[in-house]
């Protein structure tokens, strides 16, 4: 589609990716951290990349463009700064505003950072505000105003995006040292005046519209009426768009209808399509603008434009005005599919990344304003692409389907129960009590990544690359032996990422070259795409694991990524239930597990860090999800002999709601993250009747801080109050890939010393 020139169309986006062209933001911010770029030059990059996005949005022909959706790290952190809620420990460092910001994000030698956790059910992580009964709020509107003024200088009347007060308070946690029963929502009366001042300042600046993001309305309505009434009834304010996303608003719909605001954004994709029925049933949004989220903002499939036009037509009369948009910020999809020159063009055209989604909203807007005949050519081409995909043999593999159909309940269960297996495993492995291990990855150094870069560019041949990786594996094995760890790992040096690495080897997935999506701060991932039935043409990890095992007498753990995590961190098919794809991935992994076992691997870890993240936001959808998710994991792992030990690992989780699912996985050992409350997870698991081995992470790998021996010993003593010694494992709380070798050495030495002192 060519770029637009003509009247602006009733089309917008709720937010756009901010990683910059060619990952410019990552590169600039990390250079600043290393002291290689000045604050002024960092700011220059921000302005340049911000401008590039404004220009992209403008050239796509959108009527309304957002601003303040850019960020140096995270939009929740930006909101925290906007309302002046910097925690005392970061404020007291006495740093300038920029360095205080990064101190909250990353911590310093003196103080830990804010906690990081998942943004709803996505793979994006935000920083968790810490609030206390005495938290005071003061307004700092400089960032939103700066972005607004930049847009205006480019001839754009942009719409500042603010995270709304309800969502901000819901996402916050109780500050350290404050009673756990303190409810941040009680600060609403103190926070609302700051939002009122913000709206007043925007009005004084001449801002037309402000977008308040309140995704929490999808699951929580407490105080919503009050907030919308208070902000809506301000005398001097810009028009207000209340943006909801990640699901249908149900109970919040009457509140949004009644609220004295000018516009509401609703997710109308996937299961949230029920918003459409509810809207019609409720009599629409009279007197308001509806920002209709008809384009899926979280997945990468080209939209069915004709179907969306029909859906938009059904909205006729339900609002005063319809503006077409993606269902949520485009933060969660890659920038531009036209960069993917490595993809088969016949497949590439099935996808729409952020840039292509702009064209989709624009073309739909044109179809609505000027009639479908005005976009006949686009509709035609779109139908051809969809028909081509539906008929493509790539999408269906009869052999895979037959195998899935033949799965029996027996395939999803270990032959004997845990106590019996545990005895046989203990005999085979002969481990000391409180066995020590790590979660899999060792530091992914710049040198390793550079070697992979040279390999990709053809400057290093496959043999040279494999040799380089073997050298690394050997180094990691020797290091672990020197440290005295009990169950070793090969270190995962050959993996670009724990999901992409497997996707690159499985039929049915495609990986991208440039499809970066922000995961947190300056850490990005390239989620692969499931385009067809999944199968495993050949073993994926056996050579590396066997090589590592050949170097040592200690057991080396095989290391795989589980079916649920493979799907949660990929873009999934929209033409079949997730459950079916999960079974396909599980069968591929089951074969890998069998091959590892046949090669002599006695311990196999299948990571499921995303099990919690995949939990549906709505409680009523959860049991169904947990049923198929745990079944897929067991399908992948229960084909082994009794004396093969299956581990899993989970992180980034509030485990409370999934404890019984964790038990249902029926693993022999689980290692868990729990940076804040390490040992309470041990208590919770044992209270829930968890029967098998558990390694509650004894230190936080997200921070460069090295834990002392006594600290680790203390943690283990706490854990021992809940977990009997013969079932307690000693490990960090996640993989070590983001750390450097010096930190890893000292931390693991202290970990091993602590375990030994307790034996
Ligand atoms: N998929 C996924 N989701 C996840 C996690 C995860 O591990 N994977 N963990 C949690 C999030 N944590 C994360 C932790 C670290 C990184 C991370 O380190 N990302 C790297 C990129 C990792 C990667 O894909 N690396 C590739 C490409 C590296 C690269 O940039 N290469 C250069 C070339 C290097 C050179 O020639 O010098 C280039 O392409 O320009 C590789 O190693 O092969 C980064 O942003 O820097 C991401 C997420 C939750 N979600
Ligand atoms: Zn982890």
pLDDT tens for each residue of 566-591 = 999 999 999 999 999 999 999 999 99
pLDDT at 380: 98
Which ligand has the shortest distance to the CA of 502?
1
- Per-residue CA distances from 208 to 156, 236, 244, 681, 726 (Å): 11, 11, 20, 48, 65
Strand 557-561 relative to strand 603-607, pairing: parallel
The total of other beta-carbon atoms located within 10 Å of residue 291's CB is 28
Domain topology for 417-758: TIM Barrel (3.20.20)
pLDDT at 433: 97
Kindly list the domain boundaries of the chain, sorted by start residue.
63-73+137-391, 417-758
Assess whether pLDDT exceeds 60 at residue 8. Answer: no
CA 499 to ligand 1: nearest atom: 1
The residue whose C-alpha atom lies closest to atom 18 belonging to ligand 1 is 523
Assess whether pLDDT exceeds 60 at residue 653. Answer: yes
- Per-residue CA distances from 388 to 349, 391, 393, 395, 415 (Å): 10, 5, 10, 11, 45
CA of 44 to the centre of ligand 2 (A): 35
Confidence tier at 195 by pLDDT (50, 70, 90): very high
Assess whether pLDDT exceeds 70 at residue 6. Answer: no
Q: Which of 281, 250, 249 is nearest to 265 (CA)?
A: 249
Assess whether pLDDT exceeds 80 at residue 652. Answer: no
Q: Which of 493, 431, 481 is nearest to 749 (CA)?
A: 481
505 lines ligand 1 (CB under 6 A): no
The total of other beta-carbon atoms located within 10 Å of residue 279's CB is 25
Residue range 695-708: average pLDDT?
89
452 lines ligand 1 (CB under 6 A): yes
Q: Which two tokens stand for residue 684?
A: 């919770």
CA of 737 to the centre of ligand 1 (A): 9
Q: Which residues of 547-570 are buried (b: 16+ CB within 10 A; e: fewer)?
A: bbbebeebbbbbbbbbbbbbbbbb
9 lines ligand 1 (CB under 6 A): no
Residue range 724-750: average pLDDT?
96
pLDDT at 642: 98
Q: What is the distance, to the nearest Å, from the Cα of residue 509 to the centroid of all Cα atoms in its chain?
A: 19
Residue range 161-187: average pLDDT?
96
Q: Could you report how far apart the first and last alpha carbons of the chain are, in Å?
A: 68
pLDDT at 680: 82
Confidence tier at 376 by pLDDT (50, 70, 90): very high
Which ligand has the shortest distance to the CA of 117?
1
The residue whose C-alpha atom lies closest to atom 13 belonging to ligand 1 is 523
Strand 158-163 relative to strand 130-131, pairing: unpaired
Query: Angle formed by the axes of helices 305-314 and 274-282, to 10°?
Result: 20
Q: Which two tokens stand for residue 381?
A: 């081409």
Annotated binding site for Zn(2+): 649, 651, 664, 673, 734
Confidence tier at 745 by pLDDT (50, 70, 90): very high
301 lines ligand 1 (CB under 6 A): no
Residue whose token pair is 């207000």: 240
| Helix and strand totals (H; E) in the chain | 28, 20
- Write out pLDDT tens, residues 547-564: 999 999 999 999 999 999
pLDDT at 702: 82
pLDDT at 655: 83
Strand partners, 603: 557, 645
What is the widest separation between alpha-carbon atoms in the chain?
Answer: 78
Q: Which two tokens stand for residue 640?
A: 């082994």
Residue to substitute in 493, 502, 523, 572 for testing ligand 1 pocket (most ligand atoms within 8 angstroms of CB): 523
445 lines ligand 1 (CB under 6 A): no
Assess whether pLDDT exceeds 80 at residue 59. Answer: yes
Residue range 209-215: average pLDDT?
98
Task: List the catalytic residues.
Answer: 702
Sheet strands side by side (includes 65-67):
65-67, 158-163, 209-213, 239-243, 263-267, 285-295, 319-326
User: Mean pLDDT for the chain?
Assistant: 95
- Cα 399 from Cα 378, distance rounded (Å): 36
The CA-based angle 535-536-539, given to 5 degrees, is 170
Same fold yes or no, 63-73+137-391 and 417-758: yes
Assess whether pLDDT exceeds 90 at residue 682. Answer: no
Confidence tier at 2 by pLDDT (50, 70, 90): very low
The CA-based angle 494-496-498, given to 5 degrees, is 95
Annotated binding site: 26, 118, 123, 439-441, 492, 569, 607, 613, 649, 651, 664, 673, 734
Contact, 459 vs 726, CB < 8 A?
Answer: no
Confidence tier at 677 by pLDDT (50, 70, 90): low
pLDDT at 617: 83
468 lines ligand 1 (CB under 6 A): no
Percentage of the residues of the chain whose pLDDT score is greater than 90: 91
- Cα 187 from Cα 2, distance rounded (Å): 49
449 lines ligand 1 (CB under 6 A): yes
Residue range 138-156: average pLDDT?
97
Q: Which two tokens stand for residue 669?
A: 């050992």
Which ligand has the shortest distance to the CA of 613?
1
Assess whether pLDDT exceeds 60 at residue 4. Answer: no
pLDDT at 456: 94
Q: Which of 92, 97, 176, 168 is nearest to 130 (CA)?
A: 176
CA of 11 to the centre of ligand 2 (A): 39
pLDDT at 272: 85
- Cα 471 from Cα 606, distance rounded (Å): 25
Assess whether pLDDT exceeds 90 at residue 351. Answer: yes
The residue whose C-alpha atom lies closest to atom 37 belonging to ligand 1 is 450
Q: Which two tokens stand for residue 432?
A: 């000391």
Contact, 172 vs 77, CB < 8 A?
Answer: no
Residue to substitute in 519, 652, 736 for testing ligand 1 pocket (most ligand atoms within 8 angstroms of CB): 519
Contact, 441 vs 731, CB < 8 A?
Answer: no
The residue whose C-alpha atom lies closest to atom 27 belonging to ligand 1 is 496
Contact, 99 vs 113, CB < 8 A?
Answer: no
pLDDT at 676: 59
CA of 655 to the centre of ligand 2 (A): 13
Which ligand has the shortest distance to the CA of 450?
1
Annotated binding site for 5-methyltetrahydropteroyltri-L-glutamate: 26, 118, 123, 569, 613
Confidence tier at 58 by pLDDT (50, 70, 90): very high
Residue range 289-299: average pLDDT?
97
Q: What is the distance, to the nearest Å, from the Cα of residue 594 to the centroid of all Cα atoms in its chain?
A: 30
Q: Helix H segments across 118-187?
A: 142-153, 165-171
* DSSP 8-class letter at 422: H
* Dihedral of alpha carbons 248, 250, 256, 262, sign: positive
569 lines ligand 1 (CB under 6 A): yes
455 lines ligand 1 (CB under 6 A): no
496 lines ligand 1 (CB under 6 A): yes
Domain 63-73+137-391, CATH: 3.20.20.210
Contacts of 718 (CB under 8 A, 6+ apart): 678, 679, 682
Contact, 174 vs 180, CB < 8 A?
Answer: yes
Assess whether pLDDT exceeds 80 at residue 674. Answer: no
- Write out pLDDT tens, residues 464-507: 999 999 999 999 999 999 999 999 999 999 999 999 999 999 99
Strand extents, DSSP E, 249-342 = 263-267, 285-295, 319-326
* Dihedral of alpha carbons 140, 146, 148, 149, sign: positive
CA of 498 to the centre of ligand 1 (A): 9
Alpha-carbon torsion, ordered 741, 742, 748, 753, to 10 deg: 150
- Per-residue CA distances from 174 to 121, 181, 688 (Å): 22, 8, 25
Residue range 452-475: average pLDDT?
97
Assess whether pLDDT exceeds 50 at residue 3. Answer: no
Which ligand has the shortest distance to the CA of 735?
2
Strand 158-163 relative to strand 209-213, pairing: parallel
Assess whether pLDDT exceeds 60 at residue 718. Answer: yes
- Cα 637 from Cα 562, distance rounded (Å): 9
Assess whether pLDDT exceeds 90 at residue 271. Answer: no
The residue whose C-alpha atom lies closest to atom 46 belonging to ligand 1 is 523
CA of 519 to the centre of ligand 1 (A): 9
């Amino acid at each position: 589609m060519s770029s637009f020139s003509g009247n602006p169309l009733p089309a917008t986006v709720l937010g756009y990716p901010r990683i910059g062209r060619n990952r410019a933001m990552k590169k600039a911010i990390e250079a600043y951290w290393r002291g290689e770029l000045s604050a002024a030059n960092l700011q220059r990059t921000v302005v340049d990349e911000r401008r590039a996005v404004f220009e992209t949005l403008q050239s796509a022909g959108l009527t309304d463009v957002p601003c303040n959706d850019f960020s140096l790290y995270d939009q929740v952190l930006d909101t925290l700064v906007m309302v002046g809620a910097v925690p005392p420990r970061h404020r007291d460092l006495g740093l300038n505003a920029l360095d205080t910001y990064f101190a909250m994000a990353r911590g310093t030698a003196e103080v830990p950072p804010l906690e990081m956790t998942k943004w709803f059910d996505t793979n994006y992580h935000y920083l968790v505000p810490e609030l206390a009964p005495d938290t005071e709020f003061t307004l700092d509107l400089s960032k939103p105003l700066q972005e607004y003024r930049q847009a205006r200088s480019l001839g754009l009347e942009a719409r500042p995006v603010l995270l709304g007060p309800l969502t901000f308070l819901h996402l916050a946690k109780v500050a350290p040292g404050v009673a756990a029963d303190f409810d941040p929502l009680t600060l609403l009366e103190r926070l609302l005046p700051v939002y009122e001042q913000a709206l007043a300042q925007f009005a004084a600046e001449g801002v037309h519209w402000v977008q308040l993001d309140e995704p929490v309305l999808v699951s929580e309505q407490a105080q919503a009426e009050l907030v919308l009434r208070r902000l809506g009834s301000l005398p001097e304010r810009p028009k207000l768009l209340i943006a909801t996303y990640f699901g249908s608003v149900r109970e919040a719909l009457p509140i949004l209808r009644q609220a004295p605001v000018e516009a509401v954004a609703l997710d109308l994709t996937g299961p949230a399509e029920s918003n459409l029925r509810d809207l019609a049933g409720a009599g629409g949004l009279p007197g308001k603008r509806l920002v209709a989220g008809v384009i899926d903002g979280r997945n990468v499939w080209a939209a069915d434009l004709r179907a969306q036009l029909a859906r938009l037509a059904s909205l006729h009369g339900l609002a005063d005005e319809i503006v077409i948009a993606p269902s949520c910020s485009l933060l969660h999809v890659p920038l531009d599919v036209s960069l993917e020159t490595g993809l088969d063009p016949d497949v590439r055209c099935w996808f729409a990344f952020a840039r292509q989604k702009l064209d989709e909203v624009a073309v739909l807007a044109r179809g609505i304003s000027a009639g479908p005949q005005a976009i006949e050519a686009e509709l035609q081409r779109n139908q051809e692409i969809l028909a081509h995909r539906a008929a493509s043999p790539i999408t269906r593999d009869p052999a895979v389907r037959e195998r899935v159909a033949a799965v029996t309940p027996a395939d999803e269960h270990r032959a004997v129960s845990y106590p019996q297996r545990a005895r046989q495993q203990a005999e085979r492995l002969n481990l000391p009590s409180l066995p020590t291990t790590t979660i899999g990855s060792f530091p992914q150094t710049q040198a390793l990544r550079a070697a992979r870069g040279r390999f990709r560019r053809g400057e290093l041949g496959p043999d040279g690359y494999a040799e380089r990786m073997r050298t690394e594996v050997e180094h990691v094995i020797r290091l672990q032996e020197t440290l005295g760890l009990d169950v070793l790992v090969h270190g995962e040096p050959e993996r670009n990422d724990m999901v992409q690495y497997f996707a690159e080897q499985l039929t049915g997935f495609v990986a991208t070259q440039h499809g970066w999506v922000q995961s947190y701060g300056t850490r990005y991932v390239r989620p692969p795409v499931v385009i067809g039935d999944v199968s495993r043409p050949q073993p994926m990890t056996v050579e590396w694991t066997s090589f590592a095992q050949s170097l040592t007498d200690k057991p080396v753990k095989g290391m795989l990524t589980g079916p649920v995590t493979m799907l949660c961190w990929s873009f999934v098919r929209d033409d079949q239930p997730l459950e079916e794809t999960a079974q396909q991935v599980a069968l591929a992994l089951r074969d890998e597990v069998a091959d590892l076992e046949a090669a002599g691997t006695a311990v196999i870890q299948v990571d499921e860090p995303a099990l919690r993240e995949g939990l549906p936001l709505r409680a009523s959808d959860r049991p169904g999800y947990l049923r198929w998710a745990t079944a897929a994991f067991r399908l992948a792992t229960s084909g082994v002999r009794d004396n093969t030990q299956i581990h899993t690992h989970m992180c980034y989780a509030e485990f409370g709601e999934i404890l019984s699912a964790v038990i249902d996985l029926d693993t022999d050992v689980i290692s868990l993250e729990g940076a804040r409350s390490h040992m309470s997870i041990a208590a919770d698991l044992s209270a829930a009747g968890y029967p098998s081995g558990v390694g509650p992470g004894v230190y936080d790998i997200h921070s460069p801080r090295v834990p002392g021996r006594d600290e680790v010993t203390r943690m283990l003593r706490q854990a021992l109050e809940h977990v009997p010694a013969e079932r307690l494992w000693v490990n960090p709380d996640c993989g070590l890939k983001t750390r450097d070798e010096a930190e890893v050495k000292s931390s693991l030495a202290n970990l091993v010393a602590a375990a030994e002192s307790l034996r």
